């Protein structure tokens, strides 16, 4: 039995959920998200909450059960609160600047990097060394943050690079004489 799958997804105030077959549509103050559940699970709207149950007792149905429930919950959280990833830039002369749908990164290369932000994602730079990636799709927010971090991963000797705000960089000791 899936511990996650058994829990119903509550409907917060201000969010409207429609279930049509295996399609779940969530409308909220931040936007609209839809999720099409696989055929192995049955989605239902009961007592102001969405429940997800396996269609049969097969292994595939039990695998899809918890994942589908989590995807529905992510749709509901995305349209009500949204998702945010924070990145920090460490290094002399390393900085970022948001310009509309473009993020300009100075990361020690011979040229500045113009990173095109995809639609549905909002990038802010409260400080030149901080980047906030926000949106209603958790997967897309995480992917954009990972793509930004890919330009200059943190290195273990000086800790220079782009890292997540909650990430710990294991520091190494340099060479000894």
Report pLDDT digits (tens) over 133-160.
999 999 999 999 999 999 999 999 998 9
What residues have CB less than 8 Å from 63, skipping those under 6 apart? 40
pLDDT one-digit tens code per residue, 35-67: 999 999 999 998 889 999 998 989 999 889 989
102: pLDDT strictly greater than 90: yes
Residues in the chain: 177
Domains of the chain: 3-80 (3.90.930.12), 83-164 (3.90.930.12)
List the one residue out of 127, 9, 119 whose CA is nearest residue 68. Answer: 9
What's the half-sphere exposure (Cβ side, CA atoms, 13 Å) at 119?
Answer: 1
Return the pLDDT at 175: 87
Confidence at residue 1, expressed as pLDDT on a 0 to 100 scale: 64
Nearest to 82, CA basis, from 125, 150, 26? 26
pLDDT, averaged across the chain: 92
Q: Residue 118 has what pLDDT?
A: 94
Percent of the chain whose predicted confidence (pLDDT) is above 70: 99
Q: Which residue has better confidence, 1 or 32?
A: 32
Q: Which of 152, 151, 148, 93 is closest to 123 using CA atoms?
A: 148
Confirm if 34 and 79 have CB atoms less than 8 A apart: no
| Range name among 4-8, 94-98, 135-139, 164-168 with the lowest pLDDT average | 4-8
- Reading the block at residue 34, the tokens are 């839809």
């Amino acid at each position: 039995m899936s511990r996650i799958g058994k829990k119903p997804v509550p409907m917060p105030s201000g969010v409207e959920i429609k279930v049509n077959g295996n399609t779940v549509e969530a409308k909220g103050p931040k936007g609209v998200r839809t999720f099409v559940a696989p055929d192995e699970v049955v989605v239902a709207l009961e007592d102001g909450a969405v429940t997800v149950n396996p269609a049969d007792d097969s292994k595939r149905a039990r695998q899809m059960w918890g994942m589908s429930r989590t995807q529905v919950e992510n749709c509901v959280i995305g349209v009500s609160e949204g998702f945010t990833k924070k990145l920090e830039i460490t290094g002399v002369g390393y900085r970022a600047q948001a310009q509309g749908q473009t993020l300009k990164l100075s990361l020690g290369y011979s040229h500045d990097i113009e990173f095109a932000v995809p639609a549905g994602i909002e990038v802010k730079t409260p400080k030149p060394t901080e980047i906030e990636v926000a949106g209603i799709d958790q997967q897309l927010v995480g992917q954009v943050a990972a793509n930004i971090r890919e330009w200059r991963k943190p290195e273990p000797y000086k800790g220079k690079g782009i890292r997540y705000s909650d990430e710990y960089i294991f520091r190494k000791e340099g060479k000894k004489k």
